[in-house]
Structures are given as structure tokens and as C-alpha cells.
Amino acid sequence: MDEFVTLYKKFALTNHTDQVDMIKKLARLLLGLVLLLIVAGVILLMSVNTDQNKAAIQAAVLSSTGYELTIAGDMDISFFPSVGLTLNDVRLKNPASPLELASTSAALLQVDLRALIGGEIFIRELSTDDFHINYYIDAQGISNWNTQAPGLSVGSTPAPTQSSSTQLQNIPAAANGPDIVTVSFEQLRIENASVDIQDLSQGLRYSVNNLNLSSQNTNIEGLPFDVEMDFNFLNNGMTKPMTMGFRGNVTADINAGNIDVRNINFNLTPMLLQGEISISNLHDALAYQGSLSSNEFHVFGLMQTIGARETQDEFDASGSLMQDTANPLASINLNFSGDDAGIEIPEMILQLSNSTIEAEANVNFASGLQPANISYEIVSNQIDLTPFLASSTSEEIPTDEVTAGADNVAIEPTDTVTPAPPPAAGTPISSELLNSFNVIGSIAIESLLANEFQFTGINIFTNIEDGVLDVELQPVSAFEGSIAGNIRLDGRNEDAALSTQLSVSQLNVIDLAPSVSRLNSVTGNLDVEVDLSASGQNSNELMDSLTGSTTFAITENSVDIGVIKQVFTAISALSPTGSTIEQWPDVIRFAELGGFILFNGGLTENQQINLRMDNFDISGTGGIDPMQQNFDYDLLFTILGEPYLQTISVDELYHDVSWPVECAANFADEVNQYCRPDFTQVREIFTQLGTNAVRNRLNEAITDQLPEEVRDGARGLLRNLLN
């Protein structure tokens, strides 16, 4: 027994000695490793900016994406408190395009090493400064981001590009969704970014500037995080950019395929949209739904922001029907849902001042050879446009910043926008757009108010099918009469064809006169039939090719003939016998009042017009210039003899005599400045009338007083003398 104890003590002592030696050896080994890591870190830090390392990164990017990465600045790396890599002056280029795709003055990536060892990607910070993206599509529809663009050699396009693309498409499959690597960002920051978008094939150009994005604790594990973004937006129809802002709370569970965005605040001064959006089945059948509602915003302020209305200091109050004295307010609420096949808006409510407009719509996306299909329905009991119509005064449109409350966030307002002048070539008519989708819809408004005017029973039907737009207006009660019509725009050919018919029945001219001031000299019930057609590739070509006719008649009428009396008074001043013009009444009721206008190649010229008021006839040619706001007609004023009703009486000598009158003036001129006689021709007519009168009297004398055998000789002598 004693021997066993002695043996055990000896073994224990020997084992303890070995353990101490092992610990010493491990300590020396760890110390050596630490020194080796320090030396390696120093060497790495000294060599991180070598061209070899930059070339390796650039080769990796080219191999995986097909794009050329250029690191023109320095590279910095850090290990504490997290692994970080900073690239300065970085540029991305497509070998197939001369344009630079993207660039940034500095890009920083910091990764948590402990999380990375544990199989997770926890990015401490991802930030860029002055990040810029170019997206360009040429006239053939080819993007500068397309690495397979014409002119790109086979050798310059890395073979892995296609397979990489295929792999990216296959990653988010439902089957391997749970295998998605966990990625989260402690801080995501993008400052002063910009995007230029130009599409020559569509004639579009947009730019986004001063884009700032920040987010804290961004993740795809289903934990909520906040996102804040603001930017300036500008398209080629604006002279000043729009400032937009977005804030929201995001919950993204990529493994489950769900994304929820709540507490949305989207600001486009003076409108603030709030709501939520939910996206599901990202990896399978994508679906989404949401709701949005706005604050009460000033309509004209929003129109200024988006460039649909001029700013107040540039706006001529006297030249428009739209003023903002009442500062009308509007708000909008809508619910929507959709999937890969289309979008549905089951309910949208627009509050416009004191009016409520309800709408619903469905959009089915294009599929295969089938174009997109859109259906809609708009209904309102009453719409009051009175707050939007002209008044004698105007006030400045408030564009105050939206006030922050418990559920919304104040975002700085935008600069106002002034629209660019219309192009000289006119607004293009996109036949391609008409052929790209089908539309069927209706608008039903029980009552439409505009100051003292009221339109009831408004029903409008629209249809676009196979490149043909049809708009039908069913009879609308207005001005104690009715208005109906239709428009067709056929975009199946290079030159679009426009045709329109309009029928106006028994409109009370007295009620219509306040809106058309030049009608205040006429009363009665107006009937009009319009049948016009045109063709062209833009609005100017349509106007220049306008052909067709407009016929009109006014029953139960009374007419102030002041202008007619003024013209004939000027004519009679040259008459050697005087006149009875002053005996004409100022206002006359005509049994027949009607006429027509024939268009033959536009509005500005080649019009033929005729107006008949019992025995008074006006006919001639000319045109109007809507752009210059003037008109120019060469007319003939004629007082007809029997068998026409002799409502306007003159000496029989002046029956059926056509007096040349020039009517040329600006729309804004007084009516008494519209027309004036051509005095040179008037003098010639009076001379001819005098000669004719002498000839007639001598002919009568020859017939009554000379023998028959000498009458012919006397008449021949008379002709020689008077001619």
C-alpha cells in the first residue's frame, strides 16, 4: 500500500510539471501569433494602396458584373473597432458604352468581425458621398447599362455575367428563402446623391439631385427600422425642381417574403401623403396592398409646385379663368391592392372644396401580345368649380410648410415651379402610346356648378381600343338647352386622324353671354351643329389641317345692330343722295337668323363664312389666330331685295349691292373697332351706281320717247358714252 501511495505522488508531481511546461509553451505560441498578426497588420496597412490590390478588386468586379471599376483615389482599411474599407474616387463604367455609369467621391464599408465569424453580416456603416448614377437609353431603346450592347466585343464581356444574372434570379426562390444570409446595417447613409435618366426613344429626361438617405438599424430579419429620404426632382418640362421628402417605418422579413412600410410621410408641398403599404410573397406570387390619405392642401399651391400653373408674380389675373382668391382646399383618400397581373383601386375619394368625387379603377398589365387594359368609373353628386373661377382680385397662394403633428413629420417646402413655354412644333400626338393600352371608363356627374352656371346630367364615356380613342358626351342640360357630342382620335397611322361632332340645341344666349362677352348684343335660343376633321403628328398640324363646317341658327332672337349701322353710316357718308340709316332701329328681331363657317385648312385662313338675317347678308373669307388673339376677314355686306323679308329697308337702288368691309382686330378690342368699310372700293361702287342710274333713266327715255327704228342706235351711242 505504501508503495502505491509513493508511486501516485511521483506521477502527480511529474504531471503537474508537464502542465506548467505546456502552459508556458502555449503562452509563448500565443505571444508569437499576436506579434505575427501585428506584423501582418502593419504589412497589410502598408500595402493596401498598392496597384496590385486595386487591380484585384477591379478584376473581381469585372468578372462578376461585366462592368469596369476604377479606383482613382486611395484605399484605406481599419480593424478596430470593426473591419472597415474606404474607397476614394470610385467610378463604374460599361465597356460597351462611353458614358460613365456611376461614381462616388468616397464609399465606406464597416463590417462587424465577430458577427461575420458567427455566419451573419452585420454592417456597422455603409455610406457614400456625392454618389451619382447615369441611366441612358438611346433612340434604339438600348441602355448604357446593357453589357451586351452592339459594338461590345465578345472577349470584353466576362462569361460569368449571364450565369451570375441567372443565379441572382434564382436566389430568392421560395424553396431556399430560409437560406438567405442575414444582413443588417447599423447605419446606412447616402449624402448628396444624384441620378440622371434620359430616354431618347421616348423623349424623356429626368434628374434627381441632392438625394439624402439615412437609416438606422436597417435589417431584413423582420425588425422595424426608420428610413428618411429627401431629394429634388426635375423633368425636361420644368424650369425649377420639385423637392420631395419621404419618411417611414419599415419592417422587412426577406426570408418570409414580406415587407411592411408604415407611418408613411411623403411630402410634395403643400401636400402631405400618409399611410401604409404591405408587400407579401416576394419569392413567389408578389402581392401588395395599402392605403394613403392626404392633408387638406391648397390646390393652386400644388399646381405651382408641379409646374401646372405659373407662380403668382408671373401670373396675369386678367387673362385667365383660374384664380385663387378663395384658396380652395382639396384632400384625397384611396385604398389599393395589386400583384404581378395588375393594380386595383376599389375606392378613391377626392374632396375638392365642398365637392366629393368618388372613383374606382382597375389596371391589368400588358401580357404577351395583349396590351395593358384600364377601366375606371368616376361619380359625383355635385361639383362646385366656383372657388376656382375668375374674380377681380387675387391673393398670394400660401405655400406654408406642413406643420408637424403627432402622426406626421414636417418636411421643408419646395421651390415653386414655372412651366416651360409650349414647343413651337406643338404638342406631339403619341400614336405609339394610344396603341400600347386599352381603356374603358365613364364619368357621371349629377350637377356641375360654375358661378351662376349649372350643368346637369353629365355622362361621359371614354374608350381606347386598338389605337383609337373615342369620347362620347351624352346630352347635358345647360343654359336651358342641351349639349352633346363625340370625339375620335385614330392613332393607327403615322398621322393621327381627328374627327369631332358637336350638337347644341336651344341654348339661351342671354345665359351664355356672361361667359362669352361678345354675345351680349344678341338674345335668343342657339342651335349649333359642328362637324370637323383634321390630321397630323402634333397639335399644330391638327389645327393647320382643320376642315369641316359649323352651322348655327338663333330663334326667338333680338340683335343689337349697332356695328352694322356704324358701317353703313360710314358708307352713306360717300353717297351723293344721303341715306336713311339713322332711321334703322338699334335692336331688331329677325324671322331668320343663321349661317355657317366652312374650314378648309386650319383656323388662320381660308375660312368661308356666311350670316343671313332676313334680307341682310354677310359673306366672306378670312381666319382667326388664337395664338395672337386676333382675326382678319374680308367681308361683303349686302341688303337683299325681294323676295326676302324686308326687315332692313333701303332705297331699291342699293338692293343686292355688296359693300366691301374689312373686319380685323384683336379679341380684346371694343366691338365698334371690329369692322370698317373699304372706302376705295365704296367710292367705285357709288360711281358705278351713279352711272347705272343715269343709264337706266336714259334707257327709259329712249324707250318712251324715241321711235323704235332708232332705239338700238341710241342705246349703242349711250353705251359708248357711259363706258
Pairwise CA distance, residues 548 & 502, whole Å: 12
CB atoms within 10 A of CB 548: 16
Q: Does an H or E element contain 720, and which?
A: helix 708-722
352 vs 311, residue with greater confidence: 352
Pairwise CA distance, residues 636 & 647, whole Å: 18
Give the percent of the chain with pLDDT over 90.
Answer: 41
Highest mean pLDDT: which range of 14-18, 23-27, 126-130, 214-218: 214-218
Instruction: Give residue 175's pLDDT.
Output: 38
Pairwise CA distance, residues 99 & 103, whole Å: 11
Instruction: Give residue 518's pLDDT.
Output: 62
- Within a domain: residue 396? no
pLDDT digits (tens, 9 = 90+) for 408-426: 443 343 444 444 454 456 7
Distance linking the first and last C-alpha atoms of the chain: 173
Question: What is the average pLDDT across 63-70?
Answer: 81
Instruction: Give residue 309's pLDDT.
Output: 64
Looking up cell 345647360, which residue turns up? 478
Q: Does an H or E element contain 116, and which?
A: helix 113-117
Question: What is the average pLDDT across 312-332?
Answer: 56
Residues whose CB falls within 8 Å of the CB of residue 140, separated by 6 or more in sequence, listed in order: 201
pLDDT at 174 over 60: no
- Within a domain: residue 447? no
163 vs 43, residue with greater confidence: 43
Instruction: Give residue 357's pLDDT.
Output: 96
Residue 707, preceding peptide bond in cis (omega within 30° of 0)? no
- Within a domain: residue 210? no
Which of 47, 64, 85 marks a domain boundary? 47
Q: What is the residue range of 37's domain? A: 1-47
pLDDT digits (tens, 9 = 90+) for 670-704: 888 899 999 999 888 887 776 665 556 656 655 65
Query: What single letter denotes the amino acid at residue 173?
Result: A
Beta strand 658-666 with 675-677: parallel, antiparallel or unpaired? Answer: antiparallel
597 vs 44, residue with greater confidence: 597
pLDDT at 313 over 70: no
CB atoms within 10 A of CB 691: 12
CB atoms within 10 A of CB 709: 7
Report which DSSP code applies to 182: P
Instruction: Give residue 295's pLDDT.
Output: 95
Highest mean pLDDT: which range of 216-225, 352-361, 518-527: 352-361
- The answer to whether residues 287 and 261 touch, using CB atoms and an 8 Å cutoff, is no
pLDDT at 43 over 60: no
- Give the pLDDT band of residue 19 (cuts 50, 70, 90): very low
75 vs 436, residue with greater confidence: 436
- Within a domain: residue 672? yes
Instruction: Give residue 302's pLDDT.
Output: 87
Question: What is the average pLDDT across 123-148?
Answer: 84
Question: What is the average pLDDT across 32-58?
Answer: 56
Pairwise CA distance, residues 105 & 119, whole Å: 31
Instruction: Give residue 369's pLDDT.
Output: 84
- Give the pLDDT band of residue 488 (cuts 50, 70, 90): very high
The C-alpha angle 196, 197, 202, rounded to 5 degrees, equals: 155
Instruction: Give residue 694's pLDDT.
Output: 54
Residues whose CB falls within 8 Å of the CB of residue 147, separated by 6 or more in sequence, listed in order: 66, 67, 94, 95, 96, 157, 161
- Within a domain: residue 27? yes
Instruction: Give residue 507's pLDDT.
Output: 94
- Within a domain: residue 553? yes
Instruction: Give residue 70's pLDDT.
Output: 86
pLDDT digits (tens, 9 = 90+) for 199-224: 888 778 889 999 999 999 888 888 99
pLDDT at 618 over 50: yes
- Give the pLDDT band of residue 143 (cuts 50, 70, 90): confident
Instruction: Give residue 610's pLDDT.
Output: 97
Least confident residue range of 77-91, 227-241, 550-564, 596-610 = 77-91
- The answer to whether residues 137 and 201 touch, using CB atoms and an 8 Å cutoff, is yes
Least confident residue range of 8-22, 285-299, 488-502 = 8-22
Q: Which residues pair with 613 in a beta bridge?
A: 593, 616
Instruction: Give residue 712's pLDDT.
Output: 63
Q: Which residues pair with 187 in a beta bridge?
A: 216
Query: What single letter denotes the amino acid at residue 307?
Result: G
Question: What is the average pLDDT across 324-334?
Answer: 79
pLDDT at 394 over 50: no
Rg value, the chain, Cα: 42
Highest mean pLDDT: which range of 150-154, 470-474, 508-512, 692-696: 470-474
- Give the pLDDT band of residue 290 (cuts 50, 70, 90): very high
pLDDT digits (tens, 9 = 90+) for 565-601: 999 988 888 877 766 788 899 999 999 999 999 999 9
Instruction: Give residue 455's pLDDT.
Output: 95
Report which DSSP code applies to 577: T
Question: What is the average pLDDT across 629-658?
Answer: 92
pTM over 0.85: no
76 vs 285, residue with greater confidence: 285
- Within a domain: residue 523? yes
462 vs 399, residue with greater confidence: 462
Question: What is the average pLDDT across 104-126?
Answer: 73
307 vs 461, residue with greater confidence: 461
What's the structural domain count of the chain? 2
- Within a domain: residue 278? no
Question: What is the average pLDDT across 518-534?
Answer: 89
Give the percent of the chain with pLDDT over 70.
Answer: 72
pLDDT at 321 over 80: no
440 vs 216, residue with greater confidence: 440
Highest mean pLDDT: which range of 83-87, 367-371, 474-478, 520-524: 474-478
Instruction: Give residue 450's pLDDT.
Output: 87
500 vs 28, residue with greater confidence: 500
On average, the pLDDT of the chain sits at 79
Q: Which residues pair with 133 in a beta bridge?
A: 102, 195
Q: How far is CA 515 from CA 445, 512, 520, 667, in A?
A: 21, 6, 10, 14
Least confident residue range of 13-27, 52-66, 67-81 = 13-27
